[in-house]
């Protein structure tokens, strides 16, 4: 549970934060909810039952690849020794994307990938509470999640690459080039 994802945004008065709640078992996410109270948006997912946005079914975008994609990213103010890796990756991704946004709430960014606003998302060093609900939203909306090496260690490492199949594929190539 993350009762306030985007804490710094909230403190500073920047209107991009949410409440994120998830239930996980030994197999992974079972149920997840991301609530954006400022916009009245509720994103819900249950394993094997799809995902909804304000009660309507949602799907990831149809973006075929990184070229022309609208992306979200994130980086903590304490990025520290992860900065060189992130900065190099950003330099390779930026020229190909239509746009990249860093709004400061991983849970909302993941919800926005799940509903097709963003075509993909990448970040290093997330905490489990940052991604627990949003990951299920993306999976149930037809998206792909990997770690930065293309594996399934994203929950443990907090290093996520998320999006449509093509966007995720191209991001992985660009992140590790």
pLDDT digits (tens, 9 = 90+) for 82-140: 888 888 999 999 999 999 999 999 999 999 999 999 999 999 999 999 999 999 999 99
Range in 4-8, 60-64, 84-88, 162-166 the model is least confident about: 84-88
Question: What is the value of pTM for the model shown?
Answer: 0.95
Q: Is 149 exposed, middle or buried (0-12, 13-18, 19+ CB in 10 A)?
A: middle
Is 130 labeled as ligand-binding?
A: yes
pLDDT at 33: 98
Is 170 labeled as ligand-binding?
A: no
- Which residue in 98, 94, 89, 101 sits closest to 174, CA to CA? 89
Domain 2-176 classification at class level: alpha beta
Is 5 labeled as ligand-binding?
A: yes
Residue ranges per domain, the chain? 2-176
Is 119 labeled as ligand-binding?
A: no
């Amino acid at each position: 549970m993350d009762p306030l994802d985007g804490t710094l945004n909230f403190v500073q008065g920047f209107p991009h934060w949410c409440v994120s709640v998830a239930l996980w078992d030994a197999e992974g996410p079972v149920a997840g909810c991301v609530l954006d109270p400022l916009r009245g948006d509720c994103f819900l997912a249950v394993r094997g039952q799809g995902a909804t946005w304000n009660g309507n079914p949602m799907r990831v975008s149809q973006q075929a690849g990184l070229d022309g994609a609208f992306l979200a990213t994130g980086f903590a103010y304490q990025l520290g020794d992860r900065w060189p890796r992130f900065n190099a990756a950003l330099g390779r991704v930026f020229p190909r994307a239509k746009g990249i946004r860093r709004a400061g709430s991983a849970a909302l960014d993941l919800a926005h990938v799940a509903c097709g606003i963003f075509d993909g998302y990448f970040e290093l060093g997330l905490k489990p509470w940052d991604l627990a609900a949003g990951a299920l939203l993306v999976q149930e909306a037809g998206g792909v999640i990997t770690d930065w090496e293309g594996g399934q260690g994203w929950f443990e490492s907090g290093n996520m690459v998320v999006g449509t199949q093509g966007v995720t594929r191209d991001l992985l190539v660009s992140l590790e080039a």
